[in-house]
Amino acid sequence: MDKRVLIPTDYSKNALNAIRYALDLYKNLTCDFYFLNAFHASGYSVDSLLVVEPGERYYEAAKLKSHKGMERLMEVLRLHPKNDKHTFHTVCTLNSLLIAVEEVLKAKDIDIIVMGTKGITNSSNTILGTNTVGIMEKITTCPVVAVPANFSFSPPKEIVFPTDYKTPFRRKELQYMFEIAKMYHSSIRVLHIEKEAKLDTGQENNKALIADMMEGIDHSFQTLTKISVSQGIEAFIESRKSDMIAFLNRKHRFFSSILSKPLIKEIGYDSSIPILVLKDNSKN
């Protein structure tokens, strides 16, 4: 069960916290960790038609700043308890974060992305940073874990998985949630916010399908009624002190409505627990 883990960093405290969370989450697995800093040249927008070239003053200054930041990060990580199962790699590149992430995913066959919910440039009243939301929405080849700034790692005892049961589940889509649950003997709570009076036949079949998939994992099915999706998720997490929430990212499906920025703001738990965004991560 070896892993290749990509961790974007802007050298902020939130990014460092996400790194520490990833190291602890996978402490018992053999892992290659790729730390990525996507830097920008001063005066050049990533969307600009103007291209700064290696050797130019602004490029070299930005590159130097990026590499020095990475050197400081490696010094900090050397203070973390050494784990012979873990190997570190660094990538510094002039690019937008999204494009840089996509390039590393292809080049290094990454299994999962772990990142902070906010970075240096995100305002304090933003629940999820724009970079984090962009990666969650647009990266479709591997799962993403978003870690809150002040969240300290503890073995996840309970994972909440909201669903509307409207589409069949595929085991490969849910495998990372199942892996974490098995690693830590976590319970999975499948949460349905009921809008209709009862599940239709298709929904009942999909519920039975996920139940079959979770054989050997402690799990239960929970239903809330007469409450909005956002309020239901918030209330459920707060009442149970859950450790992680997992969403399945399928275009135009349940996850899309959850991740919309107004609804993220409505959820209101201020990203108090890590968010696992599941994807169809089968290798082509």
The per-residue pLDDT for range 92-110, each reduced to its tens digit, is 998 889 999 999 999 999 9
DSSP structure class, residue 268: -
Question: Which of 15-29, 118-132, 136-150, 230-244 has the highest average model confidence (pLDDT)?
Answer: 15-29
* Phi, psi angle pair for 227, to nearest 5°: -155, 150
Q: Specify the pLDDT at position 51.
A: 59
Of 98, 77, 79, give the one whose Cα is nearest residue 89.
77
CB atoms within 10 A of CB 148: 22
Q: Specify the pLDDT at position 134.
A: 81
Domain range 158-278, its CATH number among 3.40.50.620, 3.40.50.300, 3.50.50.60, 3.30.360.10: 3.40.50.620
Q: In what order do the strands lie in the sheet with 244-248?
A: 86-94, 31-39, 3-8, 112-116, 144-147, 275-278, 244-248, 158-162, 187-194, 219-225
Residue 42 predicted with pLDDT over 90: no
For 164-222, write each residue's pLDDT tens digit. 898 889 999 999 999 999 999 999 999 998 877 788 999 999 999 999 999 999 999 99
Mean pLDDT across 125-144: 75
Q: Is the pTM of this model over 0.75?
A: yes
Helix, strand, or coil (residue 161): strand
191/173 Cα distance (integer angstroms): 17
The two domains 3-147 and 158-278 share their CATH topology (first three levels equal): yes
CATH of domain 3-147: 3.40.50.620
Q: Which amino acid is at 167?
A: T
Residue 56 predicted with pLDDT over 70: yes
Contact 77, 251 (CB under 8 A): no
For 229-262, write each residue's pLDDT tens digit. 878 888 899 899 999 999 887 654 444 445 554 4
- Cβ contacts of residue 124 below 8 Å, gap of 6+? none
- Any idea where the domains of the chain sit in the sequence? 3-147, 158-278
- Cβ contacts of residue 59 below 8 Å, gap of 6+? 41, 52, 53, 94
